[in-house]
């Protein structure tokens, strides 16, 4: 019953009161190796949600190895030296042999025009046999089975541009099992079935990007909007990079980025903080301290003119406008979030009312204040799916009209208060669940240095004025910093090489 009442109770509190009420329930500690824990007690139900936030994402992929952060995420579910294998010493020896054969194959293939095709074919045959031998020792999905058989729920992970996240929930009487399993997969990553899983990652790319007109468009947008910064690469990676992944590459990536001081773990639910600390020391204290990876990334040069990219697709037309904006630490971040809500707050947002409801020129339209990440300068997006009989060009012009309106006309007070209330409500909904709490506390701790920023951000929203909204629209939504991406349906003449 308390879970049902919690959103109402939270909504009645000020940001400062919310922060104080959570501070009483939150315990933080950092192990000697640098790994940070955030524990929040909620004893309403015998369930605990866990969240492992790794401060590494696709923005950290090495050159020529895009998608490697995502690839390691898949490896983290492959078990340990004791879970998922019939005979670990024999399996490890077989895996090492596969890598030795792969090294021979690469050495020959790298000769280019001078490579011996018969030798390459012979090595490939040998490679298939060695892979089959390594796989013969595997107990598939054993790690998942252990979690699920002990009541674990919603086990999954995700890789974004800025971070990689692992999460699931357990009954509170299985807390120690989580500490054992989660620490083991980072203490002793086995990289089991690496090349088999590489094929799974490659298939994900086919499904999400190559077989999706919107996926291809978003990828083209990022690659066009960013000339130098690694935000130009999507988390899934480029196809040719995925095809050339090798297990030693993933091991080096793990050694560099999966260091304890680069990890933050959130625990929310029916948990005793003192017991959590004891178990953290016992299990995660085994991870050796290693230096933090470099945070330097190539800086994106100033964009000095509009960019355009077009993707041929017979599917539903789609249009995206992207404007350069500063990172999440900018003093304008709150105003940009409010601007987004003014433009795109569901059925009450300016874009929906104009383009979807009134003029019916779009099936759907909206905005997004931050893409693809927020750690570095990013993009403020607008997106539209034109309705039948209305072109992307027509919708693009209408979007510009709406953008000019927010530049020239101040937002009225009623609208401003409505969107601020919405932003507050969105946060409160996240805090109403153990999972949401674990996620948000970790994310804010890593990205802002203190989870309390979660609540002070609410205060930033309340301070945003109509003048601020107008100012950030004029400052950032300018043609010189814009990238336009859209799909078009090829005609018979274009398919034959004709001019459009």
- 284 Cβ contact partners less than 8 Å away, ≥ 6 residues apart: 31, 33, 35, 179, 182, 183, 260, 265
Q: What is the DSSP letter of 315?
A: S
CA–CA separation, 267 vs 52, rounded Å?
9
* pTM greater than 0.95: no
If you ran DSSP here, which 8-state letter would residue 381 be given? E
DSSP-derived 3-state class of residue 387: coil
d(CA 218, CA 234): 9
pLDDT of 4 over the 70 cut: no
Q: Is the pLDDT of residue 493 over 60?
A: no
Q: Determine the Cα–Cα distance for residues 99 and 462; give it in Å rounded to an integer.
A: 57
The pLDDT of 27-33, averaged and rounded, is: 98
What letter would DSSP give residue 409?
S
Q: What is the dihedral angle through the alpha carbons of 274, 280, 285, 290, rounded to the nearest 10 degrees?
A: -110
pLDDT of 500 reads 37
The third-level CATH classification (topology) of the domain covering 23-286 is Cytochrome Bc1 Complex; Chain A, domain 1 (3.30.830)
Residue identified by tokens 């992307």 is 392
pLDDT digits (tens, 9 = 90+) for 98-139: 999 999 999 999 999 999 999 999 999 999 999 999 999 999
**Predicted pLDDT at 491:** 65
Mean pLDDT of 197-221: 95
Q: Where does the pLDDT of residue 470 fall: very low under 50, low under 70, confident under 90, or very high at 90 and above?
A: very high
Give Cβ neighbours of residue 263 (< 8 Å, ≥ 6 apart): 35, 36, 52, 53, 54, 55, 186
Rounded-to-integer distance, Cα 355 and Cα 494, Å: 30
Q: Which fold has domain 307-488?
A: Cytochrome Bc1 Complex; Chain A, domain 1 (3.30.830)
**Domain chopping of the chain, boundaries:** 23-286, 307-488
pLDDT for 498: 38
Choose the weakest-confidence range: 99-103, 176-180, 293-297, 487-491: 487-491
Distance in angstroms (rounded) separating the CA atoms of residues 401 and 482: 15
Which residues on neighbouring strands pair with residue 382, listed in sequence order?
Answer: 321, 367
Query: How many C-beta atoms surround the C-beta of residue 45 within 10 A?
Result: 13
Position of tokens 């990289």?
Answer: 191
Q: Give tens-digit pLDDT for 168-204.
A: 999 999 999 999 999 999 999 999 999 999 999 999 9
Q: How confident is the model at residue 16 (pLDDT cuts 50, 70, 90)?
A: confident
Closest by Cα among 363, 365, 368, 405 to 387? 363
Residue 13 binned pLDDT confidence (cut-offs 50, 70, 90) = low
Q: Which of 400, 343, 337, 334 is nearest to 366 (CA)?
A: 343
Distances (CA, A) of 103 to 33, 107, 110, 366, 413: 35, 6, 10, 49, 66
DSSP string, 202-215: HHHHIIIIIT-HHH
First to last CA, the chain: 62
Average pLDDT, the chain: 92
Cis peptide bond prior to 168, omega within 30° of 0: no
What is the structure's pLDDT at 8?
47
C-beta separation of 250 from 191 below 8 A: yes
According to the model, what pLDDT value does residue 5 have? 43
Q: Which pLDDT does position 94 carry in this prediction?
A: 97
State yes or no: pLDDT of 442 exceeds 80.
yes
pLDDT higher than 70, residue 37 = yes
389-431: pLDDT as tens digits: 999 999 999 999 999 999 999 999 999 999 998 888 888 888 8
Exposed, middle or buried: residue 344 (CB in 10 Å: 0-12, 13-18, 19+)? buried
């Amino acid at each position: 019953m308390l879970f049902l009442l919690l959103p109402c109770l939270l909504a009645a509190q000020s940001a400062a009161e919310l922060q104080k009420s959570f501070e009483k329930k939150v315990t933080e500690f950092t192990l000697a190796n640098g790994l940070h824990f955030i524990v929040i007690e909620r004893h309403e139900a015998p369930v605990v949600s866990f969240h492992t936030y790794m401060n590494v994402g696709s923005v950290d992929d090495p050159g020529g190895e895009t998608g490697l952060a995502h690839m390691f995420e898949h490896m983290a579910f492959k078990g340990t030296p004791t879970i998922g294998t019939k005979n670990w010493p024999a399996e490890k020896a077989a895996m090492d042999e596969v890598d030795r054969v792969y090294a021979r194959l690469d050495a020959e293939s790298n000769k280019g025009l001078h490579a011996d095709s018969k030798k390459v074919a012979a090595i490939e045959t040998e490679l298939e046999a060695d892979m089959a031998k390594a796989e013969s020792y595997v107990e598939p999905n054993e790690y998942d089975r252990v979690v699920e058989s002990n009541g674990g729920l919603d086990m999954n992970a995700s890789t974004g541009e800025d971070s990689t996240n692992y999460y699931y929930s357990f009954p509170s009487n299985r807390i120690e099992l989580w500490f054992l399993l989660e620490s083991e997969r980072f203490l002793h990553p086995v990289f089991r079935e690496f090349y088999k899983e590489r094929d799974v990652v490659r298939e994900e790319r086919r499904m999400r990007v190559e077989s999706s007109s919107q996926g291809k468009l978003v990828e083209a947008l990022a690659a066009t909007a960013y000339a130098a910064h690694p935000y130009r690469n999507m988390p899934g990676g480029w196809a040719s990079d995925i095809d050339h992944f090798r297990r030693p590459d993933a091991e080096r990536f793990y050694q560099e980025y999966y260091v304890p001081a680069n990890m933050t773990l959130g625990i929310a639910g029916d948990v005793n903080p003192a017991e959590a600390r004891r178990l953290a020391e016992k299990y995660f204290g085994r991870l050796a301290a290693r230096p933090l990876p470099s945070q330097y990334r190539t800086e994106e040069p100033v964009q000095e003119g509009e960019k355009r990219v077009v993707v041929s697709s017979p599917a539903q037309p789609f249009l995206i406008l992207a404007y350069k904006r500063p990172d999440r630490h900018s003093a304008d971040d709150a105003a940009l979030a409010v601007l987004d809500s003014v433009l795109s707050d569901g059925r009450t947002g300016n874009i929906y009312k104009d383009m979807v409801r009134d003029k019916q020129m779009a099936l759907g339209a909206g905005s997004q204040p931050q893409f693809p990440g927020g750690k570095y300068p990013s993009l403020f997006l607008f997106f539209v799916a034109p309705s039948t009989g209305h072109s992307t060009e027509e919708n693009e012009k209408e979007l510009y009209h709406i953008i000019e309106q927010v530049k020239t006309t101040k937002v009225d007070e009623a609208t401003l208060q409505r969107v601020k209330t919405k932003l507050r409500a969105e946060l409160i909904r996240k805090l109403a669940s153990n999972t949401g709490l674990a996620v948000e506390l970790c994310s804010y701790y890593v990205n802002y240095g203190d989870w309390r920023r979660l609540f002070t951000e609410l205060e930033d929203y309340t301070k945003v004025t109509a003048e601020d909204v107008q100012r950030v629209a004029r400052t950032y939504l300018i043609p010189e910093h814009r990238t336009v991406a859209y799909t078009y349906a090829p005609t018979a003449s274009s398919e034959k090489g004709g001019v459009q």
